[in-house]
Amino acid sequence: MGYFNVHNLFFLFLFSLALVASMQQVTAKSSKKVIPFRGRKQLTNCNLFSGSWVIDNSSNPLLYDSSTCPFLEPQFDCKKFGRPDTEYLRYSWKPDSCSLPRFYGEDFLNKWKGKKIMFVGDSLSLNMWESLSCMIHASLPNAVTTFSKRDGIATVIFKDYGVTIQLYRTPYLVDVIKEDVGNVLTLDSIKAGNTWLNNDILIFNSWHWWTHTGVESQGWDYIRDGSNLVKNMDRLDAFYKGLTTWASWVDANVDTTKTKLFFQGISPTHYQGGDWSEPKKTCNGEVEPVLGPTYPTPLPPPTDVVSRVLKNMKKQVYLLDITLLSQLRKDAHPSVYTKDHGNDCSHWCLPGLPDTWNILLNAALIM
């Protein structure tokens, strides 16, 4: 009788070990479906940019208040200029195959202590730079900071951590050079590049201002394409040539063992309601995003230019592929709630969509 008890106990013990091992395998397999919370490694097989917008039902989904951020310019402060609705602030981006870690400013500063981060580009870079600075400031409102603007560079330093976050404004990445005929957009020239070096993270952006026409907003009088000086040319062709010059500069000058490289994807506009199947509308009056994972119209043509140029580069540049998820946010522009009360369907309210861009940047940095 005792033999059978011992024998049964032995097999029960083996069965228990097998059950525990099986549970561990299930747990390991399950863990591949969910991203660990806070600053842990993301899943390598997660596409951060494929997903949909969902309502955030947490009690406080906002990462900061525009009225308390000292770095926020009025042009993006929709609340200050009377935007009455707030639902656009309650949407969170949910990737299909993972969950994004929440952004914690103190974690970010600790991870990048003593480092320099620079955004290089146009007014959409300004949108993103202000967003990141405000997100961090809200986490540590009593942190010692300095804020300066000099020689086209805006700088925020979180002094207790030695973290510098800068914006270098250059709408085309290539140079606009003063010549006898006027201001010339020179597609094969980058003279400001040395200012971009010696940063630990570089986030580049361009396109928005390539489309502008007219004396006041175009920014140049002629285009120099090699030896040819022309009054105008196809803007996509010009963008491709200018971006190729930038790519060559990066390949020749940036040490990617020391500097992480990002390209902020094309930010869409919402001036044509037909794009989301509502002709005669613009972003003005829109109060909710396009729901679901797809947009009625294709990606804008410059996304192909960016993809082609990045694919042919020698150095690895991470594309923050924000275009589709931003296309879905027809509700997130300042529209008439700006300082000049125009209808801005190009830039984005802050707080707002650029906060998600920075959450995705943070996720990419910890993958």
Q: Which of 123, 131, 133, 335 is catalytic?
A: 123
SS3 labels along the chain: CHHHHHHHHHHHHHHHHHHHHHHHHHHHHHHCCCCCCCCCCCCCCCCCCCEEEEECCCCCCCCCCHHHCCCCCHHHCCCCCCCCCCHHHHEEEEECCCCCCCCCHHHHHHHCCCCEEEEEECHHHHHHHHHHHHHHHHHCCCCCEEEEEECCEEEEEECCCCEEEEEEECCCCCEEEEECCEEEEECCCCCCHHHHCCCCEEEECCCHHHHCCCHHHHCCCEEEECCEEECCCCHHHHHHHHHHHHHHHHHHHCCCCCCEEEEECCCCCCCCHHHHCCCCCCCCCCCCCCCCCCCCCCCCCHHHHHHHHHHCCCCCCEEECCHHHHHCCCCCCCECCCCCCCCECCCCCCCCHHHHHHHHHHHHHCC
* Segment 185-189 long-range contacts (CB within 8 Å, at least 24 positions apart): 185/219, 185/220, 185/222, 185/223, 185/224, 185/238, 185/242, 186/224, 187/223, 187/224, 187/225, 187/226, 187/238, 187/241, 187/242, 187/245, 188/224, 188/226, 188/241, 188/245, 189/224, 189/245
Catalytic residue, chosen from 321, 331, 344, 355, is 344
Annotated catalytic residue 347: yes
Distance between CA atoms of residues 193 and 16, nearest Å:
64
Look-up: residue for tokens 């996304």? 303
Please list the active-site residues. Answer: 123, 344, 347
